[in-house]
Amino acid sequence: MKLLFIDDEQTFLKYLAKRLFLDGFTVKTTFSGEEGVDAAAKEDFDVAVVDLQMPGIDGIEVQKRLKELQPDLPCIVLTGHGSVENALASGKYNAFKFLSKPVDMETLIDTIQAAYEFRKNQEKNPGESDSDQQKKGPLNKLYGKFRKLYGVDK
């Protein structure tokens, strides 16, 4: 499985990449949103893991651009600055899951594998519209509840 990791915390990212490589993943690391988007423009990935707060373009904008480049690429948001607003904004771009740092490695690997399976299921059902696929997204129910609770529209 080919992963794209985008995070400005280089030490953290290098550690995760080494650990995931030992678990059999192919990992491309980028240390800014711009680098991540450039990488996605040049090659295809199975799953992306994106930090939210980075210098330059932030994780929300990165998700938007990744969706334009690779519409079926599931994005896992991994951040140390989690908030309801960030989760809602990520939900607009169909973030697969929102994880907080520090993340348990087993949880991260399980989430990556679940995102990959979700993508494979999407590819098996190509006749479904984007809205049908979004209804199946794991954050969609939570996203809907938060939108109603906070009065936020899409």
Give the pLDDT confidence score for residue 63 in this predicted structure: 92
Task: Tell me the pTM.
Answer: 0.77
User: How sure is the predictor about 72, in pLDDT bands with cuts at 50, 70 and 90?
Assistant: very high
User: How far, in Å, CA of 115 to CA of 100, rounded?
Assistant: 17
Across the chain, mean pLDDT equals 82
- Res. 129: pLDDT tops 50: no
Give the pLDDT confidence score for residue 134 in this predicted structure: 47
Q: Which CATH superfamily does the domain covering 2-150 fall into?
A: Response regulator (3.40.50.2300)
Give the pLDDT confidence score for residue 90 in this predicted structure: 54
Distant-in-sequence, close-in-space partners of 16: CB < 8 Å, separation ≥ 6 = 5, 27, 108
More confident position, 8 or 132? 8
